Amino acid sequence: MFMKVFDCHLHIEEGLDAYNVPLANANIIFNHVSSYKSLAEKFSPYSHSLIFDYRSNFDFVAETVRSKKIKALKIHSRIQRIDDDEYDKVIQHLIKLDSTIPIIYDAFYFGHELTYQPNLKRLIEMATRFPKSKFIVAHAGGHHVLDYFFHLRDLKNVGFDLSFSLQYLGDTSAFIDLEKLLKHTDERRLFWGSDFPFADPKVQFDNLMEIFLRLNYRSESVERVYTQNWKEFCSYYE
């Protein structure tokens, strides 16, 4: 291992003692406002991203955006129980927010509640309706990665967070699709992350490195995916 990484998708509610790759910095994602309120200050050296809780905590979220305390907002349909019809409210609150802050969209399909699974059509609607905002596809679409690759490739304001899928899809046919995404996507739109503690950082680091070796990625490009691309893509405040 030759570099300290920037982890674009990290959770810290259980601490970082078990984190197993050299970490230079990270984007900590808070899926609940309560955990942000209790833990953000403790982990202040890191970038923070906060769930877009437009139902119960819109004013608080809007203030964190205005005060530049967070780098991105996150939409998580399964946690927030957002069905297709509810996206109209999400969009209206994004309009009300009146900001171009980046949006992390959780795109990992899982569980039996199909009503609240990620919604590619609605993601495209938001990415085209708010072209000045950057949208980060968390987990790169999960086992639907090929759909996300084909339908989002011409939207330059959309990038791909590879976290979790680099491990979870490792022994599935979808891993071939993930490699296709890496082969044909502008490297500046690809970001390494772990989704720690829900997946193993080192396993994902190594899996991605193996793909890069097969694709003959230039060493400078490899290093940028692991350390720099997310920060530049999401340079909202700089």
Domain tally, the chain: 1
Q: With respect to residue 161, please indicate whether it lies within any of the assigned structural domains.
A: yes
Q: With respect to residue 129, please indicate whether it lies within any of the assigned structural domains.
A: yes
Q: What is the model's pLDDT at position 238?
A: 47
Predicted confidence pLDDT, tens digits, the chain (238 residues): 568 999 999 999 999 999 999 999 999 999 999 999 999 999 988 999 999 999 999 999 999 999 999 999 999 999 999 999 999 999 999 999 999 999 999 999 999 999 999 999 999 999 999 999 999 999 999 999 999 999 999 999 999 999 999 999 999 999 999 999 999 999 999 999 999 999 999 999 999 999 999 999 999 999 999 999 999 999 855 4
Read off the CATH number of the domain in which 45 is found: 3.20.20.140
Tokens 């809780």 — which residue? Answer: 53
Q: What is the model's pLDDT at position 235?
A: 85
Residue-number span of the structural domain to which 131 is assigned = 5-233
Phi, psi of 9 (to 5 degrees): -150, 90
Cα-to-chain-centroid distance, residue 177: 18
Residues constituting the chain: 238
Q: With respect to residue 238, please indicate whether it lies within any of the assigned structural domains.
A: no
Give CA separation, 125 vs 84, 91, 106, 172, in Å: 12, 9, 15, 30
Q: What is the model's pLDDT at position 3?
A: 84
Q: With respect to residue 184, please indicate whether it lies within any of the assigned structural domains.
A: yes
Phi, psi of 8 (to 5 degrees): -80, -5
Cα–Cα distance between 38 and 42 in angstroms, integer? 8
Q: With respect to residue 9, please indicate whether it lies within any of the assigned structural domains.
A: yes
Q: Which of 52, 99, 60 is nearest to 80 (CA)?
A: 52
Q: With respect to residue 189, please indicate whether it lies within any of the assigned structural domains.
A: yes
Q: With respect to residue 111, please indicate whether it lies within any of the assigned structural domains.
A: yes
Read off the pTM.
0.96
Residue range 200-235, pLDDT digits in tens: 999 999 999 999 999 999 999 999 999 999 999 998
Do 60 and 33 form a contact (C-beta atoms < 8 A)? yes
Q: What is the DSSP letter of 9?
A: E
Q: What is the model's pLDDT at position 207?
A: 97
